[in-house]
Structure 1
């Protein structure tokens, strides 16, 4: 089985994904890390040197490659991955794959991301929590229709890692 974790940046896809993979004795893969390895460049470098259109095409190509050739894997997608091309169709049409949207509220996302915004090129220019709240709200409004195509949605507000893992296991067993 492949478990695909979907959600906004900072929602915990990689953190929860690694923990879930350990519990299930599965492999773990962050799609952005996979793309960086394949392209021999960081995501910001790819955007800067080759542009977003190139990145999104490669993202779809590598997503298809991973879900076609893997098993027993927890896959964390980039926050924008579900929103481009036919990525959600690729995910939802694949047998033995479960897609789960890790949904964290806008205020909690903003609180979490404000502290680490220097490491997030998309939001590094935002200097106040109020502006970040507005940015995330607009982004989530645009992305929600794609995220909601996931097979399951798990609200992670005020839940510990262990509680989230336990909730995920309910959907997987």
Structure 2
């Protein structure tokens, strides 16, 4: 396979972790969830990081973790919704591997996420969330591949493998 790492981007609850684990298993690669890595390094949950150190600190840490991960190979990397919408991170991912946007509509996001207390951004109003959803989608759309995040996760993983095998990387 020509790609050495796959990055999954998309809004909260788009299926990045679910699809990422399946994809890594199918490829025999390691799965890394950047949010979980930041929590492990910081020894606290994301809500705690937001509360104690702030969102800006969290965003800086997730970008640092990504910068380290692009040095590895045989990785499926699930990015947090904010990291995937960071133009600097998107540029780094696209130059380091195959980037896949798992796209869901706003209604599906609301249905899947509900009022998950582990997601600090869900404290925003529905209108604020929609605005965030739309602005992040503009960056996600720069991914190499866009897939419908509502279809079966196993099928999504197979589609990603097929696309990655057939993608010609140019620098």
Q: Secondary structure at the match of 1:107?
A: helix
In the alignment, what sits opposite 1:153? 146
**C-alpha RMSD of matched pairs (Å):** 1.7
In the alignment, what sits opposite 2:94? 92
Deviations 1:17-63 (A, max 9, x none): 00110011100000011111112221111111111222222211111
1:67 to 51, 67, 70: 70
Q: Distance in 1 between matches of 2:153 and 2:162?
A: 14
What stretches of structure 1 move > 2 A for 4+ residues in a row? 82-85, 116-121, 134-137
Contact 2:19–2:154, Cα closer than 8 Å, also in 1:
no
Q: Distance in 1 between matches of 2:88 and 2:164?
A: 25
Listed as ranges, the matches of 1:1-173 within 5 Å are 1-68=4-71, 70-84=72-86, 86-94=88-96, 97-114=97-114, 117-123=116-122, 125=123, 132=126, 134-157=127-150, 159-173=151-165
The verdict on how the C-alpha distance between 1:85 and 1:50 changes in structure 2, with shifts beyond 3 A counting, is farther
The verdict on how the C-alpha distance between 1:9 and 1:58 changes in structure 2, with shifts beyond 3 A counting, is same
| Structure 2, unpaired ranges of 5+ | 166-171
Q: Which has the higher contact order (CA 8 A, sep 6+)?
A: 2
Q: May I ask how many residue pairs the two structures share in their alignment?
A: 162
Contact 2:13–2:112, Cα closer than 8 Å, also in 1:
yes
Q: Secondary structure at the match of 1:93?
A: helix
Q: Secondary structure at the match of 1:153?
A: strand
Instruction: Kindly state the Cα deviation for residue 117 of structure 1 after the two structures are TM-superposed.
Output: 2.2
